[in-house]
Chains A and B, each alone.
Chain A
Amino acid sequence: MPGSNSMPAGGGGHSRAVSQELRLQRDVLTFAISDEEYAIGIEHIREIIKYRPITEVPRVPAFVAGIIAVRGLVMPVLDLRLRLRLRAAPLAQKARILVISRPATQGDLVSEEERERFGLIVDRVNEVVRIQEQDIEQPTVLSGHESDFIEGIGRLRKEEEDLPRVPAPMRMSPALMAAEPQRIIILLDLSRVLSFEHAGSGRNQ
């Protein structure tokens, strides 16, 4: 349709600019599983809720802990520890469920609100940090099973802890800087984490 395509073209150009900007630095939510620190882009996080009883669902992979209903919406909950093929462990005391929405795929026009929700069980939620794109390493350095779900490995330089979300006294403390070596954060590829099949897959729709 010549003449009517100014909108899509303009919109596309705009989002490219934004994504390029986003590529330079990223805000991620970090959380712990065992003693490793993982992260997911904050744009996928809908809310963080306390751990609550999960209704077990038969005939699904073991890493699907079951379902919960949050504000009337039923969603699958994944045990992230099992999903990442880490060793099973009892539920952590500070365990939380991250409610996330499935990342948009290319050409996907479903609005944020309508995207499918998931719950992810994590041992502990840490904080939101900003990572420079240049500090993200490709996961190719790893060869384990885990690397399937890893988008990259972020290194947090000390001066970059310089975020308003970190309490000011801590930020200035030379002791802390010395005590904390370079932080390594594993950035998860959410699309891969959420893509799996079960006994009923393929019968869908």
Chain B
Amino acid sequence: MIANFGFGILSVTFLVTLYSVFAAIYGENKKIPALVESARRAMLLTWPLLTLTAGVLIYLLVNNHFEVQFVYEVTSRSMPTYLRVTAWWGGQAGSLLFWSWLMSAFASLVTLRKWDRDREFLPWVIVVACITMAFFIGMSVFFENPFAQLYQTSAGVEAYTLQPADSVLFTPQDGRGLNPLLRHPGMVIHPPMLYLGFVSFVIPFSFAIAALITGRTDDRWIRITRRWTLWAWLFLTCGLVLGGRWAYDVLGWGGYWGWDPVEIAAFMPWITGTAFLHSVMIQEKRGMLKQWNMLLIILTYDLVIFGTFLTRSGVLSSVHAFAQSPIGPLFMGFVTVTLVTSVGLIIYRWDSLKSETEMASLLSREALFLLNNLMFISILVVCFWGVIFPLISELFTGQTVTVGPPFYERATGPLFAALMLLMGIAPLSAWGHSTVNTLGRAIWKPTVGAIIVTAIIFATYTRNVYAIIGFFLVALVILVTLYEYWRGANARQKSQDENIITAFWNLTGRNRRRYGGYIIHLSMMLMAIGILGIELFQVETQGTLEINQQTSVGGYDVVYQDIARFPGPDGREVTRAVLSVYKDNKYLGELNPRIDYYFDAQQTMTIPGQRSTLKDDLYILLVNWEPVSATGATFKIYVNPLVNWLWLGSLLFLVGIIIAAWPDQDPERVAVRAEKHVRQASAAD
């Protein structure tokens, strides 16, 4: 009964989003403001409706309603309550509802903004946001209903939205339980972050389409959505980093990124989103690249839809799987229709999207930003091609191939290096015009510093040529960024008579976007240090040890002490080893790699024992495919140099983006306040 209620609310929400779309279009065409306002309110209504729907689903998940297919598939009696709640996004049907719920929240936030200056955008923003929402809610209503219930019929037990004739409700004793891999705290936060990133990119896209439809193709839509884009980027980046951390902690292969199609699907909108964030600056500062910015946000939107689809569907495994999946063709159809329509609109507005100014110099900041965009788009092509190549190969040759990490690493490595070089040069070039002389004068000091740092690394740490190039670029970017910071603070210190710390603080506060961006550059370089470390210097060994037997790797000595098997909480059996770690004969501590076996899901999870320092990570796995006995067990031991700089960098990234995205005073309010002051001053005169 309650499941039917949830489905009913979901269906009503679907109708409300459709009404919103048609009311907005009709109201705008017939110039009936009341109808547009009605569409706005309808869009506002979607969030409480979907919240109610989600509340019903959570109620079913928490209260063991295993007669509901989705509940049966993702929960079990032994799971703690918080995991039953987060199981909401643990399966495809729930994920789609979660996506719609987040989308409705963002759409509602947009409708609540002041629309006085941008009234003409409103109906079209409603149309785009509600079409997107209607598509996802429609998927839930017609294909992936999270409220479908299990019925016993003469043909067996199957899930139906409505009770078939001559059937009885079937309630299993227990559920299958959530996939153990998804029970990790990282997995609790990672999907919401990723989806928040996905969903919030829909808002700038909606405004872009509204700008194209209304013909208001100046940079107003970019200014309105600048912070939406930054928050979207923040969420997406956090989602990717959390996913990496989850993989590192849970998947048991000593790495954080495996170039898996699902990972790449989430990475692709990040690539175009990052290119867009840089590219819009050119439009704002120089009135150029309007067509390109439109194209970038459209690509980002469609990659978001593509990514959402791939994350759960797994259709990329085979063209046959794609054809068998009912939602596969629909998703691809939606992506195609939105892409063609959006690009059609760009072509329609092509003339009004022409640049207001012209490129002056190949070394100007806008030219370097364009090169940066070329690199990002090239990385996107590599990723997209790598993801679809197996399908193309199977389609045209009948031969299935695997595109694994070597392809991506080889193809994207030089592009990432070029991006780092641009990150080092661009902050020192000027908008409009820059010459070799002016740029050379600005960059020579950081370059000399970077060469000295690289020489020290060469003499003391490594002679690997890739590492040397990588560390030189990292040093260059860090020194250029610090140099820029220091130049600004120094100038401010002199002109404003402030001490250096106040000057730094005020400098950042007065130009949050620029200096927040610099902090993000620094954070990316910390991440690059971590990536260089693990990619180029990781060492590993695997072997079977008897009790008190020792093995050595990467300067560490590891002694196997003991192993114990005991029941853990939430229905799992834990097999936990005890290993002592030494370095240079000095005892460093104990590590406890373990294998958790989940009875409900009949699946194991391999949790590493880790010892983390800024220098390296000692990462030990109890190998779960080899027999474990009281006398011996097999361990896989990795030493991952510098990997913790990756996580440290992601924390600094958060600081940077929060600074960059922190709201400024609303310029409209500033204007109103100024007007008031002018009036008061005039009255006083």
A joins B in a complex: no
B-side residues, CB < 8 A to A, are: none
**Residues on A facing B (Cβ under 8 Å):** none
